Amino acid sequence: MSQSKYLEISTEGRILVITICNPPNNYLLSGFFTELSFCRELILSSNIDAIIFTGKGNVFSKGADIEEIKSNPNELNLRTVLYGNEIFTFFSGLDKPVIAAINGPCLGGGLELALACHIRLCSEKARLGLPELSIGVIPGLGGIQRLIRIVGESKALEMILLGDIISASRALELNLVSRVFPKKEFFPRVLLFVKTILMARREAVTEVLKLVALSRPKSEEKNILAAAEKFAGLVSKRKAY
């Protein structure tokens, strides 16, 4: 296992486990994206067949630090947001399974990271939501577009406009997550799930993921970038509040 400021990196056989390590809330600060980008070579290695994201402690991630946004909106400029989006899109387009192991609260940018994963597995105690409108901004890391694709336009709008924080069971009903596991045996169940996927022929798994990516709306990436621009613009206007 190796640890940097915001990430812990470990392996379970040929599975790479990336743990967001910024407790207690596991906020996604700008340094998180830089460290995540440094993992690309390892992620693309032929020694790695799948990637799991999870959070340190009892939180997946509560996204951006609201106090940081309020006190220093210049930190979240368009360049920074586009950089984060590019990294999330990289994971979304991988031809290796990328799994979000949502072990606790998963909010804002944390949920946007989970949405960029191929599959989301959830602890029974987890809560999920995109509450950005409560501070006068919007999801800026692809959350709007990916949530619409996964749960449909109406439910996505409801979650975003109301800032709903939903339970694990409700997320399962909406197909936002694929499985809900008991808290006490959560990560072992996640590992078993991923190892079961990897029992299939590697080339076949790769082709399925490539075809799934091809089935996504052609406009998705363009719309994600448009949302990033709007997010950065709204953050910069907070200076006038």
Please list the active-site residues: 112, 132
Whose tokens are 């993921």? That residue is 209
72: helix, strand or coil: coil
175: helix, strand or coil: coil
Whose tokens are 């999801």? That residue is 139
Cis peptide bond N-terminal to 105, omega within 30: no
Work out the number of other CB atoms within 10 angstroms of the CB of residue 24. Answer: 10
- CA-based Rg of the chain, rounded to a whole angstrom? 17
Residue (of 76, 71, 54, 87) closest to 186 by Cα position: 54
C-alpha span between 100 and 28 (Å, rounded): 15
Residue 99 is inside which H or E element, if any?
strand 98-102
* DSSP E strand boundaries for 127-231: 127-129, 165-167, 179-181
